[in-house]
Amino acid sequence: MTSELALDANPPTQTTPPQQQEMPLAVVHGQPVLQIPQDLYIPPDALEVILDAFEGPLDLLLYLIRRQNLDILDIPVAEITRQYVDYINVMQELRFELAAEYLVMAAILAEIKSRMLLPRPPAEDGEETDPRAELVRRLQEYERFKQAAEDIDALPRQDRDTTPVHAHVPDRAAVKLPPPVELKEMLLALYDVLKRAELFSGHAIKREALSVRQRMGDVLGRLDDGKFHRFESLFSAEEGKLGVLVTFLALLELAKEQLLDIVQEPLAHVPAEAAERPPMPPIYVKSLALGNTNAPLQFNSEFDDSDAADATT
């Protein structure tokens, strides 16, 4: 009951949806025009006529010929002249300014038409000249140039058919992160590098100061008295092991050449259970070349190289 009283007190209001307004036919002085006025007057000058644009009289002639599928080598001059003059008259009625070349072409067509109608005298070579020949030649040449211009215009042209686009590519230099390496691995790698460095250490080889051939001459000089000399007296302690070795090799070379005699006392019998071995018996050397001491001796030793041998001799 209470709800019914509430509805009677506030009756529902009917709402109409908004309607879309009509589009105006025109706007005159800021006011929309929805209907066409009955007394509308349109002056003749307000009519805009759009005609095909021609680039010259040859272009107009070529258009008239191609529109009717005529043979350009056999032009019906009378019909083409009539259509050409009609076009010029229409242009003049519409108050278009015509170039002088259009009027010149109209005169040329009229001349060709009259020459086609009049009897032509025979030519000297027996061949008749066609009055249309020069016009046909100009039309063919113009058609070739026009077709070449259309072919060039059909090619893609920048800023007309294509637009250059420059995309900025950001620098994406790859950042290589070092691999995770423990301290133990680094120490092992350092140890390996140091070991390899030792393998490539430099080793200098220098020539020894003592020569076997030179020592052979020194030994013969000391043995010039014809007596036995101990092996230890043939070199000095400052020469060290190298002096012992060079002197021993010199004795072997001289003995091979039968220039000296080497004597050594026999070893005494030493029992196997002896704690210490007795010292080596001394070696004695005596020269056998006593009569040739004044003559120069040429020594050859296989223990010296050629450079050292040349320096000694």
Enter the pTM of the model: 0.35
Helices (H), ranges, 77-227: 77-93, 100-117, 133-154, 183-199, 212-222
Partnered with residue 283 across adjacent β-strands are 264
DSSP string, 255-301: HHTT-EEEEEPPPPP--TT-SSPPPPPPEEEEES-STTSSS------
Residues 199-228 have pLDDT tens digits of 776 667 777 677 888 888 888 888 888 888
Residue 65: what pLDDT? 86
Report the pLDDT value the prediction gives residue 126, as an integer from 0 to 100.
60
Greater model confidence, 55 or 267: 55
> What's the confidence (pLDDT) of residue 287?
82
Query: What are the structural domains, with CATH classification, of the chain?
Result: 57-119+130-153 (no CATH), 209-266+280-292 (1.10.10.580)
Query: Would you state the pLDDT for residue 11?
Result: 52
Whole-number pLDDT of residue 200: 74
For range 7-21, the mean pLDDT: 51
Does residue 37 or residue 239 have the better pLDDT?
239
Per-residue confidence (pLDDT) for residue 3, from 0 to 100: 47
| Average pLDDT rounded to a whole number, residues 292-297 | 49
The answer for 231, left when phi > 0, alpha when psi is -120 to 50, beta otherwise, is alpha
pLDDT at residue 45 greater than cutoff 60: no
What is the reported pLDDT for 15? 54
pLDDT digits (tens, 9 = 90+) for 98-150: 668 888 888 888 888 888 887 777 766 666 677 888 888 888 998 899 899 88
pLDDT band at 60 (very low <50, low <70, confident <90, very high): confident
* Percent of the chain whose predicted confidence (pLDDT) is above 90: 3
312 pLDDT above the threshold of 60: no
Residue 278 pLDDT grade (very low, low, confident, very high; cuts 50, 70, 90): low
On whether the CB atoms of residues 29 and 23 are closer than 8 A, the answer is no
Higher pLDDT, 172 or 83: 83
CA distance 300 to 302: 7
Q: Which residue reads 């032009």 in tokens?
A: 75
How much is the pLDDT for 222? 86
pLDDT tens track for 158-188: 888 888 888 887 777 777 888 888 889 889 9
pLDDT band for 21, please (50, 70, 90 cuts). Answer: low
Helix/strand/coil for 31: strand
User: pLDDT at residue 266 above 50?
Assistant: yes
Instruction: Tell me the average pLDDT of the chain.
Output: 76
pLDDT for 50: 46
**pLDDT band at residue 311 using 50, 70 and 90 as cut-offs:** very low
